Amino acid sequence: MGLTISEIRDNTLRARHLMQRSRQQHFAVGAFNIDNQETLIGIARAAQKLNAPVLVEVSDGEVKALGLDNLRDLVDNYKREYGIEMYINLDHSPTVEDCKKAIDAGYEFIHIDISQANHDATEEEIIAKTKEVVEYAKFTGALVESEPHYFGGSSNVHTEGIDYEEIKKTFSTPESAKAFVEATGIDTFAAAVGNLHGKYPVPKEIDLELLQRIRDAIPCQISLHGGSGTPAHFFEDAAKIGVSKVNINSDMRYAFRTTIEEELKQHPDEFAVVKLMDKVKDAIQAVVEDKIAGFGSAGKAVV
């Protein structure tokens, strides 16, 4: 069932209050990708157990697989069932049109990422299309996130190491962040400071000194994409600096894949796969609980 405009605006106002609380109380909110119901249940259980606010997020491929409105309904259903503070974020959306559809559907958080579809997009093009989404979002109050260039990596499990000398070429700077925020009017800036999409065989390293300088340069919220495979102490320090949102995907995908593989191996004659999902949901929940602890968001929900 669709939400009324009044319900949507109430939700987005609560979402804005959450972001304000995160800054004031120095915690970050976990934004967890889903591409199936079992993952959503694991997230909801973790949020309920730890009384933590959470964002459920979906990328373009996940929207195509599950449906924009279906996802809105699923999140609302589990939010009510578990009595939790939970919102939905459109993650790395490549077009203005898709962002507008999600805003109309009542998504509280919108990430417009023009460079996702076109790595060679100019900053002028990115700014113009981001501004269009910002203006459109004013009708519902949805929070808009963006960045001025392509963000590296992919949400998968990688076998290669991390070439930080190459990655540093794509780092945000305080000057470029400030200029982009002022030009677009976004609510959240997606910073690149050593965070990288995907799970790698070596731990990721966040440049906290650079993150602090970016925090000092811009007034809006800051998000960190590519949070998987990052030691918890970086999250703790990032939250103290003033990061409000951290995206997690690959760590959950790894837990899902490895757990279901083990369950299938142990139950070769079971073809009702739904009967094998309890441990999968437990594995997802454990990952989310671990992230919530690192983000400092346990006990921060307002229902």
**Residues with Cβ < 8 Å from 104, sequence gap 6 or more?**
140
Domain membership flag for residue 256 = no
Domain membership flag for residue 22 = yes
Q: Does residue 301 have a pLDDT over 70? A: yes
**What is the span of the domain harbouring residue 181?**
5-251+283-295
- Write out pLDDT tens, residues 55-114: 999 999 999 999 999 999 999 999 999 999 999 999 999 999 999 999 999 999 999 999
Domain membership flag for residue 259 = no
C-alpha to C-alpha distances, 53 to 99, 218, 297, nearest whole angstrom: 23, 24, 7
| Cα dihedral sign, 44-46-47-51 | positive
Domain membership flag for residue 246 = yes
User: What pLDDT shows up at residue 226?
Assistant: 82
Distance linking the first and last C-alpha atoms of the chain: 21
User: What pLDDT shows up at residue 152?
Assistant: 61
Domain membership flag for residue 25 = yes
Q: Does residue 201 have a pLDDT over 70? A: no
DSSP-derived 3-state class of residue 182? helix
User: What pLDDT shows up at residue 154?
Assistant: 60
**Residue 102 tokens, joined:** 């999600």
Strand intervals (E) in the chain: 29-33, 54-58, 86-93, 109-112, 143-146, 153-157, 188-191, 197-199, 221-224, 245-248
| Cα dihedral sign, 254-206-30-287 | positive
Domain membership flag for residue 237 = yes
Domain membership flag for residue 193 = yes
CATH number for the domain including 216? 3.20.20.70
Q: Which long-range contacts (CB under 8 A, 24 or more apart) does 167-170 make?
A: 167/194, 167/196
User: What pLDDT shows up at residue 170?
Assistant: 78
Rounded distance, CA 249 to CA 156, Å? 8
23-144-192 Cα angle (round to 5) = 70
Average pLDDT of every residue of the chain? 93
Higher-pLDDT residue of 202 and 40 is: 40
Type of residue found at 160: E
Tell me the HSE value of 262 on the side-chain side, using a 13 A CA sphere. Answer: 11
- Write out pLDDT tens, residues 8-32: 999 999 999 999 999 999 999 999 9
Q: Total domain count for the chain?
A: 1
Domain membership flag for residue 272 = no
Q: Catalytic residues, which ones? A: 91
- Write out pLDDT tens, residues 207-229: 999 999 999 999 999 999 988 88
- Write out pLDDT tens, residues 127-160: 999 999 999 999 999 999 999 976 665 666 666 6
43-44-46 Cα angle (round to 5) = 65
User: What pLDDT shows up at residue 288?
Assistant: 98
In this structure, how many other beta carbons lie within 10 angstroms of the beta carbon of residue 272? 8
Rounded distance, CA 152 to CA 198, Å? 9
